[in-house]
């Protein structure tokens, strides 16, 4: 029996391709570089006829291995060719360390182009953006303006943060600028009255609810934007603005005026639904309201609630308050000793609100300047129910009169109003 041969089988076709890769002429080499086998491409890199054009054609391929791309990077011709360095960076298969090493050799707008080419990997884009941002301190204004028009969302957002008026204008018109970048700018130290106004009047950004709120929370925002934006906000947002610590006193006053205006309009609609004859509300010097028709009126506001009481014959008083635990801190200023004693036994917080609102309602009805809540009004002990009546003894300076009031507990609100004798 003949011995079996264990000699390796030689792929003659592959051998010819390898030989061709080493010996091809310049024109033939373009065809060689289309070979799908990486083992054929490696010898082609040693071909003495290999030049920049061949390598540029090779680097357009997206199937090259990291090993081959590293070999291209190590070629002497690559070290001296800017075009090859750019092509290597743009190839998605180029290893990260090589990309980082080559980015420093790319021009600013080549980095931008790299960020925007289809198929760019997240790592390549991140590295290119980082390289762009590192050059920002030494980049001229004109180039920054051009960059803001062409660059990615990340870079245009960083340019916006510089706060330079001409840059802000260009950035706001960029189709890649994100709302979150504008919010960060508004909340940052570089936002000025002028640049805030640019955002507030910009046709693309001026109607964004989150941006409007951010603009109104900036203490450098000009008053005109409070005048224009506040009427379009929800009442809850206006109230949140009022408690913001970012506003300056003048801005806070504008917010308070807007809330008062809304409360007045709510009260006016409520009054109109109760009595059509009341066409206008006037106010005495002490703030007490009166009507054109002679009907007695009392008003009260608290948060989102408005309370109104009318009477044709006698004076009236009404008060509404939202529950607030801080009333415990001031109870000794408006409660007598007896009131503090019975209020402390049970349901103390609710009783304190009823006592306070009852005295406010009494004050509005009797209209005695300087009357002392703690000493000249005394609420008799009562038990808490959802809707109940209470008695109060009022010292008007001449005599002590008993007054009857009614209260209602409306969720978080306490409503108290005087009753006719």
pLDDT digits (tens, 9 = 90+) for 20-78: 999 999 999 999 999 999 999 999 999 999 999 999 999 999 999 999 999 999 999 99
Task: Specify the pTM.
Answer: 0.70
Residue 281 domain-assigned?
Answer: no
- Give the integer Cα–Cα distance in Å for 56 and 77: 11
> Mind listing the pLDDT tens digit for each residue in 132-178?
999 999 999 999 999 999 999 999 999 999 999 999 999 999 999 99
- Give the integer Cα–Cα distance in Å for 110 and 194: 33
**Residue at a domain's end among 183, 205, 222:** 222
Residue 228 domain-assigned?
Answer: no
Residue 280 domain-assigned?
Answer: no
Q: How many domains does the chain have?
A: 2
List Cβ neighbours of 14 (8 Å cut-off, separation of 6 or more). 37, 39, 40
**Residue at a domain's end among 191, 222, 253:** 222
The domain spanning residue 400 has which CATH number? 3.90.470.20
SS3 label, residue 392? strand
The answer to whether the beta carbons of residues 85 and 78 sit under 8 Å apart is yes
> Mind listing the pLDDT tens digit for each residue in 378-391?
999 999 999 999 99
CA nearest neighbour of 366 among 390, 401, 337, 339: 401
Task: Give the phi and the psi of residue 276 in degrees, each rounded to 5.
Answer: -70, -20
List Cβ neighbours of 139 (8 Å cut-off, separation of 6 or more). 108, 147
CA dihedral 99, 104, 106, 107 (to 10 degrees): 150
Residue 296 domain-assigned?
Answer: no
Q: Are 218 and 330 part of one and the same domain?
A: no
Residue 407 domain-assigned?
Answer: yes
**Residue at a domain's end among 197, 222, 247:** 222
Query: What is the span of the domain harbouring residue 78?
Result: 13-222
Q: Are 211 and 332 part of one and the same domain?
A: no
């Amino acid at each position: 029996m003949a011995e079996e041969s264990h000699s390796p089988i030689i792929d003659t076709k592959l051998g010819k391709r390898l030989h061709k890769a080493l010996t091809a002429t310049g024109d033939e080499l373009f065809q060689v570089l289309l070979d799908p086998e990486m083992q054929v491409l490696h010898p082609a890199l040693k071909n003495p006829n290999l030049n920049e054009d061949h390598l540029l054609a090779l680097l357009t391929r997206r199937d090259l291995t990291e090993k081959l791309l590293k070999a291209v990077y190590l070629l002497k011709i690559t070290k001296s060719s800017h075009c090859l360095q750019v092509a290597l960076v743009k190839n998605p298969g180029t290893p990260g360390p090589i990309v980082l090493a080559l980015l420093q050799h790319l021009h600013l707008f080549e980095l931008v182009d790299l960020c925007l080419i289809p198929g760019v990997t997240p790592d390549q884009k991140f590295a290119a953006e980082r390289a762009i941002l590192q050059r920002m301190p030494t980049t001229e204004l004109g180039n920054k303006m051009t960059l803001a028009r062409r660059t990615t969302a990340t870079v245009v957002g960083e340019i916006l943060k510089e706060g330079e008026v001409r840059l802000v204008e260009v950035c706001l018109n960029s189709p890649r600028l994100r709302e979150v970048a504008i919010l960060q700018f508004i909340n940052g130290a570089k936002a000025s009255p002028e640049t805030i106004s640019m955002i507030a009047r910009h046709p693309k950004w001026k109607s964004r609810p989150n941006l409007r709120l951010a603009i109104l929370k900036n203490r450098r925002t000009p008053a005109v934007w409070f005048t224009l934006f506040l009427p379009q906000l929800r009442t809850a947002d206006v109230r949140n603005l009022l408690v913001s610590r970012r506003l300056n006193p003048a801005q806070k006053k504008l917010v308070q005026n807007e809330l008062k205006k809304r409360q007045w309009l709510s009260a006016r609609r409520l009054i109109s639904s109760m009595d059509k004859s009341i066409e206008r509300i006037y106010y005495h010097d002490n703030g007490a309201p009166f009507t054109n028709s002679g009907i007695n009126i009392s008003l009260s506001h608290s948060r989102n609630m408005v309370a109104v009481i009318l009477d044709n014959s006698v004076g009236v008083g009404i008060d509404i308050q939202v529950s607030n635990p801080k009333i415990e801190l001031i109870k000794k200023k408006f409660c007598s000793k007896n009131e503090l004693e019975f209020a402390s036994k049970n349901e103390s917080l609710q009783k304190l609100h009823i006592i306070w609102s009852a005295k406010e309602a009494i004050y509005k009805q009797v209209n005695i300047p300087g009357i002392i809540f703690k000493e000249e009004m005394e609420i008799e002990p009562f038990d808490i129910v959802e809707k109940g009546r209470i008695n109060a003894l009022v010292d008007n300076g001449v005599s002590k009169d008993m007054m009857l009031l009614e209260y209602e507990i409306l969720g978080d609100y306490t409503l108290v109003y005087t009753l006719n004798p």
